[in-house]
A and B are shown apart, each in its own frame.
Chain A
Amino acid sequence: MALPVKTAQFLEETGNIARFTGRFFTQWFRPRYEVAEFFRQCYIIGYRSLPLIGLTGFIMGLVLTMQLRPSLVEYGVESQLPAMVAISIVREIGPVITALIFAGKVGSSIGAELGSMKVTEQIDAMEVSGTNPFKYLVVTRVLAATLMLPILIMLSDAISLYGSYLGVNIRGIVSFRLFWTQVFDNLSFSDVLPAFIKSFFFGFAVGIVGTFKGYHSSKGTEGVGRSANSAVVVSSILIFVIDLIAVQITDLFGFN
């Protein structure tokens, strides 16, 4: 019995991404190493995403604090506000929201850049210029995304908590020292480590999906737009899937 067309397309796409990922793992450690391009990508993907990630992180911390406050006041545990915000931001909200924003900014730009390079034959031009375009364009971007996202998440968490500190002080008075003491007293190793580890997988997913969509962009400007769009959609879904798996694993190890 033949598979429905959509199912067949989905399975084919999944197979292609798996093959593309396999190609990444067979090529990333082999010379020639594109060190300069890797650092350039770290600068573009990491440093240039910082203002957006910082701003959204700050708003996230501030808003979360202000939204949580009335419920905690109702139960008389207002003093637990810094601890609650810290745990929710570090464990879940910080990594996932930052990864989603990262997917929107970096995933789409990688998809569009590589897509337009593909349709204007720039990838072929690299190939004839003695360059392995997969290494130069794909490996460097995937590695940069994988390594930069955890750093961005850590910074975003810190900025979020600072936003939270300001949020706490809108309706009450909590000293800077007391706020941070409460945050760190309630955060444990098992809160930070799983979140940190899963952020590498989020970064890898954004990098691999963005480069895959761009590298296999179909001809024409419409194809470039579609690559950028589907890079964001697919990597966002993957972030949630990875998060779901990560929660099951941390639960299995008793970290929840």
Chain B
Amino acid sequence: MAVQEALKIPAQERTTEKEDVVLSVRNLCKSFGKNIVLNDFALTLHAGENIVVLGKSGSGKSVLIKCIIGLLKPEKGEIKVLGKDILELDREELDKVRAKVGFLFQSNALYDSMTVRENLEFPLRRHWIKVSHQKMDELVKEALEDVGLAHTINMMPAELSGGMRKRIALARTLILKPEIILYDEPTTGLDPITGKGIIELMVEIQKKYHSSSIIISHDMNCVKTASDRVIMLIDGRCYAEGTYEELIKMTDPKIKEFFE
């Protein structure tokens, strides 16, 4: 089974495309009624790379990653994830791709009625991965140790603080050892110190698993610490692209207002 194999093989050796492009988006258009959110948007993510998509609230950042994971259907465009065109896949094939792509939700989306252990086991069970109870236990413990919260294994999400919930949500994202991780505003709603801890954890995880990631954020600390490349999403398009250092030097007023 593809996912089972994916659990054993290091991420570096798992990239599927020749030119190490793990994700590409072309001509993406998405609108809600008359409100055009994404207009001819394009993006390319390489293996091991961290891209931060920067933009104002309501600029379509979350819509972009929801289109990438197949939660929203764009009107036009092409989204290739690990060589597969997401928009052409049936449900079963889409689930296979989703097993290799982690998604950290802005609101954490932990299942309230389940314990931390059950929350972490859920993606393992649901992606048809036939792992033994012992192996599942090991994977859960490993993911919790990665985020430094091994002691919360039997707790309910309601008993955890905001920062802890974010870490547990990150552990749930990591349990399938995804090749690509999509972060939807990972530091929103957290105090600066906890937010900094989450960003450091994201960088650490990226180094450990050699995953690639798209981080949606408007937190400058996150942009500075976690990004290899920054994409400015303005008016539904990729307005500017470059490293943090390159963008900070730009004189365009629309870009400048983000960094001032």
Contacts and interface: CB of A to CB of B under 8 A. Distances in A.
Interface of A: 113, 116-117, 120-122, 124-132
Contact of B69 (A117, A122, A128): A128
A130 B127 contact: yes
B99 A130 contact: yes
Interface residues of B, number: 23
Contacts of B66: 124
Contact of B105 (A116, A117, A124, A130): A124
Contact of B95 (A120, A124, A130): A130
B98 A130 contact: yes
Contacts of B122: 129
Nearest to A119: B107
B71 A128 contact: yes
Nearest to B184: A121
Contacts of A117: 111-112
Q: Which 9 A-B pairs have the closest CB atoms?
A: A125-B109, A121-B109, A130-B127, A129-B123, A130-B126, A130-B95, A121-B105, A131-B126, A129-B126
Contacts of B128: 130
A122 B66 CA distance: 14
A130 to B, nearest CB: 4
B87 to A, nearest CB: 16
Nearest to A44: B113
Interface of B: 66, 69, 71, 91, 95, 98-99, 101, 103, 105-113, 122-123, 126-128
A41 to B, nearest CB: 12
A121 B112 contact: no
18 contacts: A113-B113, A116-B112, A120-B112, A121-B107, A121-B109, A122-B112, A124-B105, A125-B103, A125-B111, A126-B126, A127-B71, A128-B71, A128-B98, A130-B99, A130-B123, A130-B126, A130-B127, A132-B91
Contacts of A130: 95, 98-99, 123, 126-128
A125 B105 contact: yes
A9 to B, nearest CB: 17
Nearest to B71: A124
A120 B109 contact: yes
Nearest to B119: A125
